[in-house]
Amino acid sequence: MSATTTPRAAGARPAAGKPGKARSSDKARAEAKLGWYLAGPAFVILVAVTGYPILQALYESLFSYRLTAPGDREFIGLRNYGVILTDSLWWEAMVNTVLITVVTVAIELVLGFALAMVMHKVLGWLRPIVRTAILVPYAVITVVSAYAWQYAFALTTGFMNSVVPGVGEDFDWFANKWTALLVICLSEIWKTTPFISLLLLAGLAQVPSDTIEAAKVDGATAWERLWRVTLPNMKASIMVALLFRALDAFRIFDNVYIMTQGAAGTQTVSALAYNQTISRLEIGLGSAVSVLLFVCVLVICFLAIKVFKVDLARARGEG
């Protein structure tokens, strides 16, 4: 590249004065090549496993196709999307899904951070006990958790009516939309707050203790240290926790299906896709709902990355 490069130096091996750099470059290329060899097959399988259903759903959504009448299959273009987007049931399911996502993720983020602080601060023999106790709900299978909450609030088997003040013995929590959504949200929060706290605990461990000590010496209050030192250094962890949990909450299905099956106005987008595809065997409409759900998930990912503006590679020190 230099104008003074001799034919001998340019034609053969790297310059004798930079052997270390040449070896480092060769090593980096070899490591990258090995990485592709090792991860390549898994990457191809991952793309095939995730890409095929998406493309198949996109294709099926362009047809009027009911599984009980396969001979009547007809290409109708985007008409299924028009039917869905002009149906009040879709918008009711969308509002319920967004409401559940916003409420549960916001509460879980606050509670998860508090639990992460507890797990981070507790010392000695109490540390493994406290961490295990906090993480137990996340180890429970979602279906089991949903049934437990349903039995607790059900009119015939539940005990919550005798515990919650101001509630009559004959009050049916699942007959009213808002009380049913409240129980669904409580179940989600109880089950997945430990997941948020686990991710935030990893972020807390990366906050430099020297910086916090320096802020303390400078006279910063506990709130100022939290707001100006701890949280900025946890930005990447908060984004990952928020994104993972928001995507999970937006696809909520188990709790709704077990507790209400979408009755009393508690339908969600995933439950709507299930009802159209599995219960009513409307493959075209169900596929269109699934494609719209996928688009919503992409929008959530895009917004999270844009709002937080976090470079995860740089956060790992690779930048």
pLDDT (average), residues 32-36: 86
Q: Residue 64 in 3-state DSSP?
A: strand
Q: Which tens digits make up the pLDDT trace of 270-295?
A: 999 999 999 889 999 999 999 999 99
The chain-wide mean pLDDT, for the chain, equals: 85
Cα–Cα distance for residue pair 57/80, rounded to 1 Å: 12
Contact between 198 and 135 (Cβ < 8 Å): yes
Query: CB under 8 Å to 208, separation ≥6 — which residues?
Result: 233
Residue 282 to residue 31: CA distance in whole angstroms: 49
Q: Where are the alpha helices (DSSP H) in 12-70?
A: 19-60
Distance CA 107, CA 186 (A): 10
DSSP annotation of 228: I
pTM of this structure: 0.81
Q: Which of 29-33, 143-147, 149-153 has the lowest mean pLDDT?
A: 29-33
Q: What are the backbone angles phi and psi of residue 124, rounded to the nearest 5°?
A: 70, -150
Domains (ranges, CATH) in the chain? 31-75 (no CATH), 87-316 (1.10.3720.10)
d(CA 191, CA 252): 12
Measured in whole angstroms, how far is the alpha carbon of residue 61 from the centre of its chain?
A: 25
Per-residue pLDDT tens over the stretch 201-243: 888 888 888 888 888 888 888 888 888 888 888 888 898 899 9
